[in-house]
Amino acid sequence: MIGTILRPTLPLLLLLPLLLGGCSRLGLPFFQPCHDGTATTLHGLFADGAVLQRGVDLPVWGWDRPGRRVVVTLDGEVRRAVTDREGRWEVVFPPMEAGGPHELLVSGSTDIRRHDILIGEVWLASGQSNMEWPIAETDERDEALEVASQNESIRIFTLPYRSSMAPEKDVEPLEWITVSPENVEQLAAVPWWFANKIQPEVNVPVGIIVSSWGGTMIPTWVPRERLLEYPGTRMMVLEADREVEEYKVALEQYLIDREAWREKAMAVDPGNRGAEEGWHLPDHDLADWGTMELPTYWQATGLNINGVVWFRTDVDLPADWAGHELELHLGAIDDLDTTYLNGVKVGQTGRDTPGFWAHPRVYPVDGELVREGPNTIAVRVFDIFAAGGFAGDPEEMMILRVDDRGTTIPLAGEWLYKVEYAFEPYTEPSPVAPRERAPHTIPAGVYNGMIAPLIPYSIRGFLWYQGESDGGHPHLYANLFTTLVNDWRGRWGRGDLPFYFVQIAPWTANPVGVPLWALIREAQLEAWKELPNSGMVVITDAGDPVDIHPRRKRVVGERLARYALRHEYGTDIVTSGPIYRVHQVVGSGVRIHFDHVADGLSHDGDDLTGFELSGVNQIFHPATARIDGDTLVLESPAVTDPVAIRYGWANVPEGNLVNSAGLPASPFRTDRW
């Protein structure tokens, strides 16, 4: 068995293009799509069924031979371009009204036609796992199935995971999925509930580009040059550079060492002596052959050798099988085999077959070889390394089948066997592949692979749900988040693109010590206050303390939609719960003023909870709270001279303050202790 030796691991696959150059259409991290200049290509987002943003300039781009003239037509509008030195072309169509379907035609070295193009509203949804969490794994699965049957004006394009050391230019030309009850379960829940909320209000097609990767920290989504500007992230970048370079060197050496090891460990076939002596012939003398139950690895029977072992069995076939073509199914054979029926070779699997050690053997048998009565099957198995023998399913993979009727005869059971060549097993362990840094942790890597190639596709705005992976450096989060937002907006050429994001949900992260998730929420709140045309969704009431992936996603998507409906589409709707603005100490109590109170403050349950007061001793005590108009008055018998307030300041906040729209207040603190 040599599978663990020859099969490249995923990390090796990820880095080979960096070592070897070239490109791929596999959609794996580090792999660039191919643009070889022999044909006209369109950027992958411009696939059949694409949704384009209404009311703004529409860039359309792709690649061809350098210096080639390209003509692009959309809804009767014609634009022309000439490719640059790198073969890239781009045209810009004027703003269009919502509608469709249209055809997008491109004529260059070759012609391209894209069908069913719609003009509507396009949003880019990004972040980590809670943004990509599928509808099938939420509490609202059944609701989504019902709603999807009533609204098929939503289309979603989901990017595969990709990380890169440099900004990529294209994405895989995947499908824009038109949402329906048949496919809604596989789609990202938060973006879909967002789209489902806004689409009936705007009454135009809605497209969502989902570019999200679970477990990613925010530095992976920020461009390299921005990370190098800050000491805290500059070291991250340089450390990742060092690790990648060291890995490339180690990988090159590993490949050399592995090849040298294989030359020693892999036995060489000394030649088919058994066939020369007639071991495959029906009339061969079998007096010195043993028996073995198949399928099995022969080492499991005590035959501890590598080398060549022959196996034989006779199968009685009825008269009506004679002359008919057969299929001989032997399952996987580890490692190589030559197979005979009635003395004639009918199949062979060698080293040139990918994954030969696990490749199912299915060999066609010419009807001229098939006769009534005993038919001899002989299989020469060459085990190169480790375990050897038959590894197929005894019921489904070791059978003989008549081609024209589907009738089968089982082959599992007792076979005769004889050793042709035996080699002492090679016991030296194989070289250990170097450990590669996980691609989704490389600073700027996910930006390079999953955001950069989307620019400048026209969008209405951004949706963001991320932060759970950044508990280790909450002090960096607010700065990095504002950097990310400003940078993305700048690269799209619109500094006012809306950016709506989700404050992370409750979860029992590091229950002892500093509440790191409270610090991330604070960083998100601070970033919101600094960022124009942004909005933050609070979901302290929609989390699960024991699950980092809360199963209630509809409320998240619909709260994001509130911002879009109010600020982008002119709907009179409340967007946020209460946000702390200022407070005054009044006697032994505190009066708090909030923004976003709507028609007034309220709370769930009998009493307001979640508030704490502290004096100069920095010891916080629970506080009673009462609503007084649009303000809140706090008191605590244990704190007669209050200097600091905290609300919901925990990994799992317990506060219940809401406004008249039922939207929860954001956790906050007034101290920086």
CA distance 400 to 642: 86
In the chain, % of residues over pLDDT 90: 81
Mean pLDDT of 342-361: 94
Residue of higher predicted confidence among 71 and 473: 71
**Number of C-alpha atoms within 13 angstroms, CB side, residue 40?**
21
With a cut of 90, say whether residue 30 has pLDDT above it. Answer: no
Q: State the pTM of this model.
A: 0.80
What is the CA angle 572-575-578, rounded to 5? 125
Count of H-run helices and E-run strands, the chain: 12, 35
- Weakest mean pLDDT among 238-252, 401-415, 523-537: 401-415
Note the pLDDT tens digit of each residue in 36-70.
Answer: 667 999 999 999 999 999 999 999 999 999 999 99
pLDDT score at 138 = 96
Q: Tell me how far CA of residue 586 lies from CA of 134, 226, 262, 628, 635, in angstroms.
A: 49, 45, 80, 13, 10
> Are the CB atoms for 468 and 548 separated by under 8 Å?
yes
Q: Read off the pLDDT band of 510 (50, 70, 90).
A: low
**How far apart, in whole angstroms, are the C-alpha atoms of residue 79 and residue 566?**
35
Residue 135 has pLDDT above 60, yes or no: yes
Name the amino acid, one letter, at 558.
E
Domain extents for the chain?
A: 277-421, 579-669
CB 205 within 8 A of CB 170: no
Is 5 a residue whose pLDDT tops 70?
A: no
Q: Is residue 13 predicted with pLDDT exceeding 50? A: no
* CA–CA separation, 116 and 99 (whole Å): 11
Averaged pLDDT, 632-640: 95
pLDDT for the residue numbered 407? 85
**Which pLDDT value is given to residue 512?**
61
Q: What is the mean pLDDT of the chain?
A: 91
Q: What does the chain come to in residues?
A: 673
Residue 268: pLDDT band by 50, 70, 90 thresholds? confident
DSSP assignment letter at 52: E
Q: Would you state the pLDDT for residue 12? A: 43
Q: Are the C-beta atoms of residues 658 and 665 closer than 8 Å to each other? A: yes
27, amino acid identity = G
Q: CATH number for the 579-669 domain, one of 2.20.130, 3.30.420, 2.60.120, 2.40.10? A: 2.40.10
CATH number of 277-421: 2.60.120.260
pLDDT of residue 429: 86
pLDDT value at residue 97: 97
Give the model's pLDDT for residue 36: 65
* CB 53 within 8 Å of CB 63: no
Share of the chain above pLDDT 70, in %: 93
According to the 3-state scheme, what is the secondary structure of 534-561? EEEECCCCCCCCCCCCCCCCHHHHHHHH
By CB neighbour count within 10 A (0-12 exposed, 13-18 middle, 19+ buried), where does 355 fall? exposed
